[in-house]
Structure 1
Amino acid sequence: MKTNLKSNKNIIPMREDASSTVQATNNLEYVNLMEYLPMRLPATEEEERNRKIVHDFKNGKCSQELKNQFTDAIKQLKDELKDTNLSVCFMPAITADKTAIRYSQLATAIETETGIPSDYHTILPKPATELMATGKTDPAEDFLFNKEQIEGKDIILIGDIITTGANFTKTSLMLAELGAKSVTGLFLAKTTITK
Structure 2
Amino acid sequence: MGLYESGNLAGFMYRLDSGSEDEARFWNNILVFTFFNGFRKAFFPLDNRFQGFFRLDGSLCLYLYDYCPVRRNDKITFEGKKVSNAVWRFKSGEQTDLFVKLFSIAASHIRAIQENRHRAVLVPVPASTREKHRTRYEAFCRKLSADMGIADGYGAITVAYDRAQFKGTHGNGDRTANLEFHPERFRGKCVLLVDDVLTTGATFIALRRKLIAHGAKFVIGMFLAKTIAFEDERKDLSINDYTNPTTSE
TM-score (norm 2): 0.65
Mapped partners of 1:145, 1:80: distance in 2:
25
Mapped partners of 2:88, 2:214: distance in 1:
32
Aligned to 1:112, which of 146, 160, 168?
Answer: 146
Give secondary structure in 2 for the equivalent of 1:148.
helix
Q: Offset at 1:74? A: 2.9
- Structure 1: segments with no counterpart, 5+ residues: 15-26
Aligned to 1:188, which of 224, 245, 249?
Answer: 224
Mapped partners of 1:28, 1:71: distance in 2:
20
Q: Alpha carbons of 1:61 and 1:181: their partners in 2 closer, same or farther (altered >3 Å)?
A: same
Q: Which residue does 1:154 correspond to in 2? A: 190
| Structure (1/2) with the larger helix percentage | 1
Q: Offset at 1:11? A: 1.6
**Taking CA–CA contacts closer than 8 Å with sequence separation of 6 or more, which of the two structures ends up with the larger relative contact order?**
1
Q: Which residue does 2:181 correspond to in 1? A: 145
- What amino acid does structure 1 have at the position aligned with 2:48? K
Give secondary structure in 1 for the equivalent of 2:102.
helix
Q: Offset at 1:66? A: 2.1
Contact 1:100-1:120 within 8 A present in 2 as well:
no
Percent identity between matched residues is: 26
Mapped partners of 1:75, 1:9: distance in 2:
15
Contact 1:139-1:174 within 8 A present in 2 as well:
no
- What amino acid does structure 2 have at the position aligned with 1:111? S
Q: Offset at 1:65? A: 3.0
Q: Alpha carbons of 1:139 and 1:180: their partners in 2 closer, same or farther (altered >3 Å)?
A: farther
Q: Which residue does 2:61 correspond to in 1? A: 30
Mapped partners of 2:96, 2:144: distance in 1:
13
Between structure 1 and structure 2, the one with the greater Rg is 2
Q: Which residue does 2:112 correspond to in 1? A: 80
Matched, 1:121 2:155: yes
Q: Offset at 1:115? A: 1.4
Q: Offset at 1:193? A: 3.5
Q: Which residue does 2:88 correspond to in 1? A: 55
Q: Offset at 1:63? A: 4.5
- What amino acid does structure 2 have at the position aligned with 1:172? R
- What amino acid does structure 2 have at the position aligned with 1:147? P
Mapped partners of 1:107, 1:134: distance in 2:
22
Runs of 4+ in 1 over 3 A off after TM superposition: 133-137
| Structure (1/2) with the larger strand percentage | 1
- Structure 2: segments with no counterpart, 5+ residues: 1-46, 231-249
Contact 1:154-1:182 within 8 A present in 2 as well:
yes
Aligned to 1:43, which of 51, 76, 89?
Answer: 76
Q: Which residue does 2:48 correspond to in 1? A: 2
Q: Which residue does 2:97 correspond to in 1? A: 64
Q: Alpha carbons of 1:183 and 1:134: their partners in 2 closer, same or farther (altered >3 Å)?
A: closer
Mapped partners of 1:169, 1:60: distance in 2:
24
Q: Offset at 1:154? A: 0.5
Matched, 1:95 2:129: yes
